[in-house]
């Protein structure tokens, strides 16, 4: 069964898995040998590490968070590979030690189709910050 109809659909599934805090669904977004660099430069290799890293924060500081993802820019590499760039806005809730707040990030994902299924091969997530001060900023 196809996980999606095309590479851009991955962002919809990413947002749904995050907002329902469904780490099983989140794990299905990735190839087993995928990599993920989060916004704090933590590097996970393999879907088990990716899910474990996210499960911890979804059970604690992000348990009441939501994520809004803009439609991605899709740059096809081949019929079975594409690069996605997309903005996300994380809205942390009261469970976060800093209290409710928002964070914008730009995510780069390499997605590939294997056995008819589009999944993520690699992700890098970068927080939007003021380059002069390092202060986290929100885009308009």
Per the listing, tokens 């590979």 go with 81
Mean pLDDT (the chain, rounded):
94
Q: 63-103: per-residue pLDDT in tens?
A: 999 999 999 999 999 999 999 999 999 999 999 999 999 99
Token duo for residue 74? 């899709």
Q: Give the C-alpha separation, 34 to 119, whole Å.
A: 9
Q: 18-77: per-residue pLDDT in tens?
A: 999 999 999 999 999 999 999 999 999 999 999 999 999 999 999 999 999 999 999 999
What pLDDT score was predicted for residue 140?
78
What pLDDT score was predicted for residue 4?
54
What pLDDT score was predicted for residue 55?
97
Given a cut of 70, is residue 8 above it in pLDDT?
Answer: yes
């Amino acid at each position: 069964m196809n996980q999606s109809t095309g590479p851009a659909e991955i962002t919809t599934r990413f947002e749904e898995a995050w907002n329902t805090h469904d780490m099983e669904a989140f794990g299905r977004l990735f190839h087993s040998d995928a990599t993920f660099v989060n916004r704090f430069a933590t590097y996970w290799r393999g879907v088990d590490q990716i899910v474990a890293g996210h499960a911890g924060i979804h059970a604690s500081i992000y348990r009441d968070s939501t994520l809004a993802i803009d439609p991605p820019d899709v740059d096809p590499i081949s019929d079975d590979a594409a690069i996605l760039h997309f903005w996300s806005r994380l809205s942390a809730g009261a469970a976060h030690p800093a209290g409710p707040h928002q964070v914008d990030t730009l995510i780069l994902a390499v997605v590939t189709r294997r056995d008819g299924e589009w999944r993520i091969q690699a992700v890098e997530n970068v927080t939007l910050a003021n380059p002069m001060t390092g202060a986290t900023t929100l885009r308009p």
